[in-house]
Amino acid sequence: MKPITAAAKLGIYLPAAPAEFQSSPITRDELDALRDNPPEWLVELRRNGPFPRDVVAAKLGVSRSGLVRGGITEALTADQIGELIANPPRWLHVERDVHQKVIAERERIKAANKED
């Protein structure tokens, strides 16, 4: 598989991975080996980032679109995410509320469809 696909499956930001990982195709066996016995660089990326936008969004409790509306277009590190959580700007409060409403609406629709 392409490195971008492997990075997504590992939940890491591809540009932060070693050049060897970025430039070579990854087999499923290699991907499984990385999951089962991650090298130090993978452990470090998963711990401190930088993280891809979908991971940043999940850690902040917002959607990826909410990140963009909040002006976050780049990968963030754990420290940067921690700072946003510790001192949430107004946009983060708004986007968290929007995200929770969207989730609640999805659950409502799912429950309504089950009743039919």
Residues 7 and 19 in one domain: yes
pLDDT value at residue 39: 95
Task: Tell me how many domains the chain contains.
Answer: 2
Tell whether 60 and 85 lie within a shared domain.
Answer: yes
64 and 113 in a single domain? The answer is yes
Are both 98 and 82 inside the same structural domain?
yes
Tell me the three state secondary structure of residue 116. coil
What range does the domain containing 30 cover?
A: 1-48
Q: Are 77 and 85 in contact (CB under 8 A)?
A: no
Compute CA distances 99 → 25, 71, 84, 90, 114, whole Å: 36, 16, 17, 14, 23
Same structural domain, 106 and 59: yes
The residue among 46, 37, 59 whose CA lies nearest residue 7 is 46
Distance CA 10, CA 46 (A): 9
Indicate if 20 and 65 belong to the same structural domain: no
Which pLDDT score, from 0 to 100, does residue 114 have?
A: 86
Domain boundary among 32, 48, 64: 48
Q: Same structural domain for residues 30 and 4?
A: yes
pLDDT on residue 116: 67
Q: Indicate whether 39 and 57 sit together in one domain.
A: no
Q: Are residues 93 and 63 in the same domain?
A: yes
Residue 55 and residue 44 share a domain: no
* Cis peptide bond N-terminal to 38, omega within 30: no
| 30-62 per-position pLDDT tens digit | 999 999 999 999 999 999 999 999 999 999 999
Q: Is the pTM of this model over 0.85?
A: no
> pLDDT per residue over 8-33, tens digit each?
999 999 999 999 999 999 999 999 99
Convert the pLDDT of each residue in 71-114 to its tens digit: 999 999 999 999 999 999 999 999 999 999 999 999 999 988 88
Between the alpha carbon of residue 96 and those of residues 18, 44, 47, 63, 79, the distances in Å are: 33, 28, 23, 8, 20
Q: What confidence score (pLDDT) does residue 91 get?
A: 96
Instruction: Read off the DSSP letter of residue 61.
Output: T
Same domain assignment for residues 14 and 64? no
